[in-house]
Homo-oligomer: A and B are copies of this chain.
Amino acid sequence: MIGNAIIGQSGGPTAVINASLYGIMSSALNSGFISRIYGMEYGIQGILDEKIVDLTPLSLSSDFKYLKYTPAAYLGTCRKKLSDDLSDPSYIRIFELLSKNNIKYFFYIGGNDSMDTVNKLQKYSEKIGYEIKIMGIPKTIDNDLSHTDHTPGYGSAAKYIACSMREILFDTEVYDVPSVTVTEIMGRHTGWLTASAVLARRFEGDNPLLFYLPENVFYMDKFLSDIEAAVRINKSLVIAVSEGIKTEDGKFVCDTNSSTDAFGHCKLGGCAQVLTGEINQKLGIKAKSIELSSLQRGAAHFTSLTDINEAAKAGEVAVHRAINGETGKMISLKRIKNYEIIYESVFVEKTSNIEKTMPENYYTGVDISPEFKDYCLPLILGEPRLQFENGLPKYLKRRS
């Protein structure tokens, strides 16, 4: 089937979401089946607003290669949720625009919520009999997508977190006074990212000594007694805490001034500060909090080459599969022993709106298991050779 393609990015940015865009674009142009490549500005919202751009000139430009190493989302992204009701007028608008531009291939790079969008568009296309191949390319630093060994974006975030955490360990050890450093890490309702901080350890028994994951209920009393005991073992105590930890009543520890996004998700952040306050007050130990903040999802200056290459490959494979007639599917990464990845595809229906938490053998109490280290380590290996300009990595400026 010959026609045009459109690509969208959705959900939170990552350091490698543009590597997937790069993979799709380079593969599409060489396919012989795709004539022009369009991009949606700000995800599906861009189609609704008729904000689409022709990406073909970019793919032919000499700057195209930098796209693979540029952080955030070149096309912009959104948190737009399509209606569950397929008779909603947005679907008509979307498919009018697709038809007008002879779009036969639709690629959407994103996480759980984005796969929900792919799933709905697939159903609507079947309903109206519009011939189109719709593919999802997994992306999230949170690694909470089901039916895939891991998600592109996770490896680079994990590498950045492990490295930053190790540098924090060095920093906390310089003074000869007891201190507790509470490091807050993203990951929403799962502990994948926080667990990656275990790779910062330089030796058995090293910091970070304690991990608090959303997979476990958080008890403040237990937390304070853990801290008291641990600071006796290591006077420069460093701990890793997930932004999404919850107490027994289901409330987020950070839940002071929360708000929700379009998918009804609570905005998280600030639990380290809450915990630091408790340690200072209740235990009288000097404590400080560090939030790794949005840098952990966009630090393209320090990415995993494994992750970048997998992100690009997932994009390429999506194009091949679509051309071969697959639709309504997400590319999935399957791990073969000793670390090799094969790319499969799964019906997106299976994956959308599911959050994959960590398996129980990956953590134990307040520690992370060796099994998790074996799982995570291959994902952070390798470093891209970046081009530099005026002392900074050369990134592709987002279209304005």
Contacts and interface: CB of A to CB of B under 8 A. Distances in A.
A88 to B, nearest CB: 21
Contacts of A123: none
Interface string A68-99: 00111100111100000000000000000000
A293 B290 contact: yes
Contact of A380 (B159, B200, B301, B391): B391
Q: Which residue, A42, A159, A382, A391, has most C-beta atoms of chain B within 10 A?
A: A391
A275 to B, nearest CB: 16
Contacts of A77: 174-175
A203 B159 CA distance: 30
A377 interface: yes
A42 B176 contact: yes
Given A76-B176, A383-B388, A170 B295 contact: no
Contacts of A304: 391
A302 interface: yes
A124 B176 CA distance: 26
Given A170-B71, A293-B291, A76 B175 contact: yes
A398 B300 CA distance: 28
Interface in A165-190: 166-168, 170-176
Nearest to A398: B173
Nearest to A381: B391
A364 interface: no
A313 interface: no
Contact of A174 (B76, B164, B176): B76
A162 interface: yes
Nearest to A200: B392
B202 A397 contact: yes
A47 to B, nearest CB: 13
A246 interface: no
A390 interface: yes
Interface in A364-400: 377, 380-383, 388, 390-393, 395, 397-398
B391 A159 contact: yes
A199 interface: yes
A163 B381 CA distance: 22
Contacts of A380: 390-392
A13 B171 contact: yes
A72 B174 contact: yes
B392 A377 contact: no
A174 B176 CA distance: 43
Given A295-B290, A298-B170, A391 B72 contact: no
Interface string A236-260: 0000000000000000000000000
A56 interface: no
A104 interface: no
Nearest to A162: B392
Contacts of A163: 301, 392-393
A133 interface: no
Contacts of A139: none
A31 interface: no
B301 A395 contact: no
Given A70-B170, A380-B391, 5 more contacts: A13-B174, A71-B171, A72-B174, A167-B298, A199-B391
Interface of A: 9, 13, 41-42, 45, 70-73, 76-79, 159, 162-164, 166-168, 170-176, 199-200, 202-203, 290-291, 293-295, 297-302, 304, 377, 380-383, 388, 390-393, 395, 397-398
6 contacts: A71-B167, A163-B301, A166-B392, A167-B300, A170-B395, A377-B391
